Structure 1
Amino acid sequence: MTTFNRREVLQHAGALGLGTALLTNLGTVARAGENSSATELPPHIVLETIKAGGLSHYSYFLGDKNAGVAVVIDPRRDVQVYLDLAEKHGLTITHVMETHVHADFVSGSRELADRSGSAQIVASIEGDPGYGFKVDRPIRDGDEVTVGSIKLRGIHTPGHTPEHMSYLASSKGGGQAWALFTGDFLFIGSVGRPDLMGVKNTDSLAKSLYQSVQNAFTELPDQLTIYPAHGPGSPCGAGIKAPEGDPTLGKERQGNPYWRMNNQEIFIEALLSAQPPVPYYWPRMKKINAAGPEILGGTPQVQRLKPDAFDKVIQSSGMQLLDTRLMQAFAGGHIRGAMNIGYNEVLSKWGGWMLDPDRPIAIIKPAEGNFEDPLDWLSRVGLTNVKVALDGDMKAWINSGRKFDSFQTMSVHDVNQRFPTDQMTLLDVRQPSEWDMGHMPGAQYMFLPEIPKRMRELDKNKPVVVYCGNGYRASVAVSVLRASGFDARTVPGSWDAWTAAGYESLKPNKPGKASDTTRTA
């Protein structure tokens, strides 16, 4: 058992910026129980987790093989995966359930209801969310939805949002519950953030969240398996962890730092101090989801153009050029002015942060990639305005005799030899909390999404050497800087390579607030 005083609790939370501190009620912290064996699913039940990696989002396909029906909980925008699962298991999707109005991605509920042909949309009307679309089955706390032999009872768990609903799954006719879908209320090692609906609502939502933590699940057994809507890496909660073994309610009661606190003031102060920066695109996601997302009818289509026609289009005013190749390929040769966000599911998040949703997009894919994946990844954050694509890949552009840009990269060994120096700028573009946990000597800090509006703070007469965690975000930053005339270069491997090489790192004497994106060396 470990005891902390108030100052230590809050300093530890702020230092990590990820909520992984042992935040307590000024009492004790216990390890997760060893005897919380998870509940088992009935043999005729299908339960599959669908992960959207770039957003660390989990949705769930839950079906009754005997009845031939299924429900999807918190679906993502590109819904073909759920239709494929229904076909695989020989089930019909009859219900689509939302735990709340999401802020980090565009919901697939309307899309899935349309494409399945018969599924009802189920959503909470607690807290008066004000939907701009038809909710087939509006529910309140305690209401039940049946899908074959599956009974799903709504448990109102406000705090992340006013309407948030968790769903307790059991079998009709009684018996022990066997699953708890906690949405963005309860994560492994964390809880949902209460600060996404403006400053005026944060305090009341934080108090509601505290009450939900204290009261919502008190009658439920420790061994109940929990299924949250997000995993590690999601900004929807501070310091979300991966489960160790089966994730159960009992483990969270004993090991989740926020679940161990029974002092509302400490809970709110520690929780808010640990939250990472709110992505710029989240308010837009929330508006889209509340109003009702546009039904796409499948993966958006894009017109593929040969280099000559593509060149003419991208010269038109307002067009954004997105190069989705990986960082080494981008450094070796790219069209001047292109933004580089690499071919990976995390394109969803960084596309949301960096691209303008009101401007059309032209896209370039890697030689080994396709266009469908990035179009799906972008659609998850409401970016469906990709109008044209370079037919083939960058090789076609180069072989056509057109100009292209390239730049030098620097290894961590070069960086170690050159910095600190006044001749070049070393720029760290990671999360504020990452900077606090260690950074390269001589580095200046600038959070990646803020570079477009803050780049004037950098000296344009000096080369700018950019690093992040592994180089992915650095390449985004370099592409933005080079489009504005900077001599910018990436550090492949970045912080991961730096630490692997055993080079010195620095830490600030006093870490800043996790959501504060200003840092000094």
Structure 2
Amino acid sequence: MIFETIQTEGISQLSYLIGDDSSGTAAVIDPQPNVESYVQLSRKHGVAITHIFETHIHADFMSGSRELQSRVGNANIFASSEGDASYGFDVQKISDGDSFEFGSTKITARHTPGHTPEHLSYELADSDSPDEPWGVLSGDSLFVGSAGRPDLLGEEETEELTKQLFSTLRDYYLNLADDVIVYPCHGAGSACGASIGERPMTTIGQERKNNAFLQHDDFDEFAKFVSEGAPPVPQHYPILKKINAKGPELIGHAPVVPGLPPKRFQDAIQSGQAQLVDTRQMLAFGGGHIEGAINLGDRPELSVWAGDMLDYDRPILLVVEDETQLDWVAWHFAVVGLHRFEGYLVGGMKAWDNAGLPLSTTPQLTVHDLKEHKSEFQILDVRAPSEFKSNRISGAKHHYVAEMRDGVNGELDLKRDQPVAVYCGSGYRASIAASVLQRNGFQHVHNVPGSMSAWKNAGYSIEK
């Protein structure tokens, strides 16, 4: 038996390759669109990818099923027929109880609704004991220390999905043996569940004992617990849900990003058609950037924040730190369905500087300077609401960075002509927010590197 876990950082996504070397066949479950990792793994193990399984219609990343099918040429896509699911591309529909064999391993679909109506999980068992599963690919129904959120399809469906989730957890998962291994579709950092644990896998016994979602016998108590713990819904989730149901556009390779010399790049900016994204790290961005750019540093979480902050109807102009990493950067946009690029700045900011083109800056304010001159700043906390509620710098106002994607108006209660100090957990989100504030006419915006982490480590007091 062949079993491989493929982790996509940033979106905290886990996909799986299961194969049988005797028959030379393999299946991939929940692939993301940069499919070369699956192709290379199949070649390493000497198997052909013949089956592609989806657990559900994903909302947080662009499905790679069609991309992988196109790449390997002889695989079928299998997707749920449950919950009246419909698709705009060719799939082989499967339902609860359908099974497939890969050598000595039997994969059986189980309808586990709640996160979505059509959701399937896949039991893994030895072929000679199919009723005694040793593992389950749980998709977004059960996570380490958490469960799939039922509120992504809108308020009108949340109550029914919450009931289905309650039933799935109690009537399916809690009836599995304690030693069954759970392989989820997401790990810590994903907004598909509240406070997902760090481990990439778990067991039913571990979750039975420690998972708060499995501790409720009363539905009303469960529903209250679920609703209170849900993080904000990212803006790209409904968009990607529609893209994945229709069938994502085939890319076929790393997204194409044309190179534009500085003057042509400036012309493209001034046309107003594209959105300008600077993917350098916050200190480089702060030292000098092109006016109007949003700062999304090229860390793995770039994918999440690109999906949450950018306009899916406009192409992207890119500024990168290292042009040899351009494909890597572009894939981080594509994994959340953003693959229309107007171009990138050839030669980077050095070429822009040498061309004598204008620069803007974002001053960086250390926590020590903020502490000493605190009364001189309007302090803005841009972390998630739950983080702000837990602790904050005294006197800070709050506005979640993702809610600033369409601009900022009077709801911030900040004066545009007075200094603003922006902080988050580490400075990454604060730099995003600072760039948005500057783009919206705030004149004296300061980013706080290290932000709350640095503030605490410096020994400064926090408000709870």
Give the match for residue 452 of structure 2.
495
> Aligned partners of 2:382 and 2:175: how far apart in 1?
45
Paired residues of 1:94 and 1:147 also in contact (CA < 8 A) = no
How far off its partner does 1:218 sit? 4.6
Among 253, 256, 281, which residue is 1:326 paired with? 281
Amino acid at match of 1:226: V
Q: Which deviations, in whole Å up to 9, do the C-alpha atoms of 1:157-187 show, x marking residues without a partner? A: 1111111111001232336433210000000
Paired residues of 1:68 and 1:148 also in contact (CA < 8 A) = no
> Aligned partners of 2:120 and 2:41: how far apart in 1?
25
Give the match for residue 150 of structure 1.
105
Answer yes or no: is 1:505 the counterpart of 2:462.
yes
Amino acid at match of 1:472: Y
How far off its partner does 1:115 sit? 0.7
Answer yes or no: is 1:433 the counterpart of 2:398.
no
Among 461, 464, 482, which residue is 2:420 paired with? 464
Among 257, 263, 266, which residue is 2:221 paired with? 266
Amino acid at match of 1:436: K
Superposition map of 1:20-35 within 5 A:
none
How far off its partner does 1:66 sit? 2.3
Paired residues of 2:407 and 2:436 also in contact (CA < 8 A) = no
Among 283, 286, 304, which residue is 2:259 paired with? 304
Q: Secondary structure at the match of 2:290?
A: coil
> Aligned partners of 1:281 and 1:53: how far apart in 2?
18
Amino acid at match of 1:71: A
> Aligned partners of 1:186 and 1:316: how far apart in 2?
47
How far off its partner does 1:243 sit? 3.0
Q: Which deviations, in whole Å up to 9, do the C-alpha atoms of 1:304-360 show, x marking residues without a partner? A: 011122121221122111110000000011111111100112111100111111111
Among 301, 306, 312, which residue is 1:357 paired with? 312
> Aligned partners of 1:316 and 1:86: how far apart in 2?
45
Q: Which deviations, in whole Å up to 9, do the C-alpha atoms of 1:482-501 show, x marking residues without a partner? A: 12221211001101101111
User: Residues 399 and 276 (structure 1 numbering): CA distance in 2 closer, same or farther, change over 3 Å?
Assistant: same
Q: Which deviations, in whole Å up to 9, do the C-alpha atoms of 1:102-144 show, x marking residues without a partner? A: 1111110111111111111011110011111111x21111111
Structure 1 segments unaligned to the other structure (5+ residues):
1-44, 508-521
Among 167, 181, 184, which residue is 1:225 paired with? 181
Which has the larger share of helix? 2
Answer yes or no: is 1:286 the counterpart of 2:241.
yes
> Aligned partners of 1:503 and 1:303: how far apart in 2?
47
Among 444, 451, 454, which residue is 2:408 paired with? 454
> Aligned partners of 1:60 and 1:127: how far apart in 2?
24
Q: Which deviations, in whole Å up to 9, do the C-alpha atoms of 1:463-509 show, x marking residues without a partner? A: 111111111111111111112221211001101101111110001xx
Give the match for residue 185 of structure 1.
141
Among 255, 270, 283, which residue is 1:315 paired with? 270
> Aligned partners of 2:81 and 2:207: how far apart in 1?
27
Q: Which deviations, in whole Å up to 9, do the C-alpha atoms of 1:402-433 show, x marking residues without a partner? A: 111113211001111122x2x42111000111
> Aligned partners of 2:174 and 2:302: how far apart in 1?
39
Paired residues of 1:51 and 1:59 also in contact (CA < 8 A) = yes
Paired residues of 1:156 and 1:216 also in contact (CA < 8 A) = no
Paired residues of 1:466 and 1:477 also in contact (CA < 8 A) = yes
Compute the RMSD of aligned alpha carbons. 1.5
Q: Say which structure, 1 or 2, has more relative contact order (CA 8 Å, 6+ apart).
A: 1
Amino acid at match of 1:497: A
> Aligned partners of 2:213 and 2:263: how far apart in 1?
58
Give the match for residue 34 of structure 1.
none
Structure 2 segments unaligned to the other structure (5+ residues):
none
> Aligned partners of 2:172 and 2:238: how far apart in 1?
27
> Aligned partners of 1:378 and 1:140: how far apart in 2?
33
Answer yes or no: is 1:445 the counterpart of 2:398.
yes
Amino acid at match of 1:165: L
Misfit runs of 4+, over 4 Å:
none
Amino acid at match of 1:496: S
Amino acid at match of 2:269: I
Paired residues of 1:361 and 1:385 also in contact (CA < 8 A) = yes
Identical aligned residues as a percent? 45
Amino acid at match of 2:89: F
More displaced 10-residue stretch of structure 1: 92-101 or 402-411 = 402-411
User: Residues 241 and 208 (structure 1 numbering): CA distance in 2 closer, same or farther, change over 3 Å?
Assistant: same
> Aligned partners of 2:432 and 2:336: how far apart in 1?
18
Q: Secondary structure at the match of 2:338?
A: coil
Among 74, 77, 90, which residue is 1:118 paired with? 74
Among 185, 188, 205, which residue is 1:250 paired with? 205
Give the match for residue 23 of structure 1.
none
Among 313, 316, 325, which residue is 1:370 paired with? 325
Q: Which deviations, in whole Å up to 9, do the C-alpha atoms of 1:251-271 show, x marking residues without a partner? A: 111111111211111011111
User: Residues 48 and 302 (structure 1 numbering): CA distance in 2 closer, same or farther, change over 3 Å?
Assistant: same
Amino acid at match of 1:127: G
Q: Secondary structure at the match of 2:321?
A: coil
Q: Which deviations, in whole Å up to 9, do the C-alpha atoms of 1:203-223 show, x marking residues without a partner? A: 011001101111113542211
Answer yes or no: is 1:424 the counterpart of 2:377.
yes
Q: Secondary structure at the match of 1:239?
A: coil
Answer yes or no: is 1:476 the counterpart of 2:432.
yes
User: Residues 219 and 465 (structure 1 numbering): CA distance in 2 closer, same or farther, change over 3 Å?
Assistant: closer
Count the aligned residue pairs. 459
Give the match for residue 18 of structure 2.
62
Paired residues of 1:410 and 1:489 also in contact (CA < 8 A) = yes
> Aligned partners of 2:377 and 2:417: how far apart in 1?
9
Q: Secondary structure at the match of 1:370?
A: helix
Paired residues of 1:455 and 1:481 also in contact (CA < 8 A) = no
Amino acid at match of 1:266: E
Give the match for residue 408 of structure 1.
363
User: Residues 217 and 181 (structure 1 numbering): CA distance in 2 closer, same or farther, change over 3 Å?
Assistant: same
> Aligned partners of 2:208 and 2:42: how far apart in 1?
34
> Aligned partners of 2:207 and 2:329: how far apart in 1?
36
More displaced 10-residue stretch of structure 1: 404-413 or 144-153 = 144-153
Answer yes or no: is 1:95 the counterpart of 2:48.
no
